[in-house]
Amino acid sequence: MYPRLELIHEAAQGTERDAPPLLFVHGAFCAAWCWQAHFLPWFAKQGYDCWALSLEGHGASGGREYLAAISIDDYVRNLSAAVKRIKRTPIMIGHSMGGFVLQQYLTSHSLPAAAFLASVPPTGLASSSLRLLTQAPGLLLNLNLYQQGSYNPVQDELRDLLLSRDAPEATTALLAQRCQQESQRAVMDMTLVNPMSIRPILPLPTLVLGAAEDMLIAPQDVVATAERLDVNAEILPHMGHMMMLDTRWERTAERLLSWLEGLPDQLVRKTENQTVA
């Protein structure tokens, strides 16, 4: 039986835009809650119909009891299930692991457009792990211990790993309270990527953003994702990995909004009334 998936909905406020809905996909150790503080209400106020998915085993979705065995392919199937529930083909925005899942989804599905925030690159986590090993071995060790369930990070460590230095205590407290373990299978899927297995993605309007102070996804990783999608990468200054929660989250939202408003009118008209069986 397919697991129940948490799908949070924030309806457009005021005059709804003549545009596809937005579906936000979280990264590892998180769930749909990471979009609730800022992005869902902010984009709803801009007139967008907004949705945020908790992948299988995350948040209020089913699957916690077998989380360790859930694969990236399972997460891809979660995206398909979410699109069917929304009933209209959305523009997807994937963060970190969610961006990696979105890349896999696009190898076999079409979307009107897609955006990637600090996405795990096509080649996976190997370069990120090596960089942490050489530049911040303590953070890498603590991250691995947390994944094994034998370590609870303090707020300062979460700030160092996921946010900019001036992130408010309320944000780090939220992360400390809400973050969870990730699927061991999914982490391995993103770590042991066979370069020969990376499949092409059909062209589509794409935005690829990175964060200059990101300890996990470096600018070169962001460039690798952009190159796969044949677009230019953009690196936002003074920003940590959690681009939707960090101190200057509005810069991420405003750049995303500018890109959305610049999408071709014919794309919007084509997808506005498109339904999913």
Residue type, 61: S
Asked if residue 117 has pLDDT above 90, the reply is yes
Q: Which of 42-56, 60-74, 235-249, 260-274 has the lowest mean pLDDT?
A: 260-274
Tell me, what DSSP letter sits at residue 130? H
Can you tell me the distance from the alpha carbon of 90 to that of 21, in angstroms, rounded to the nearest whole number? 5
Of 160, 191, 190, 158, nearest to 177 by C-alpha is 158
Q: Between helices 184-191 and 72-86, what is the axis angle to 10°?
A: 110
The pLDDT mean for the chain works out to 89
Can you tell me the distance from the alpha carbon of 108 to that of 267, in angstroms, rounded to the nearest whole number? 19
Q: Which one has a higher pLDDT value, 195 or 273?
A: 195
Domains of the chain: 7-272 (3.40.50.1820)
Query: What is the tens place of the pLDDT at every residue in 181-203?
Result: 899 999 999 998 988 889 999 99
- For residue 50, list its beta bridge partners: 10, 22
Can you tell me the distance from the alpha carbon of 176 to that of 234, in angstroms, rounded to the nearest whole number? 29
Asked if residue 12 has pLDDT above 60, the reply is yes
Asked if residue 142 has pLDDT above 80, the reply is no
Q: Which one has a higher pLDDT value, 188 or 156?
A: 188
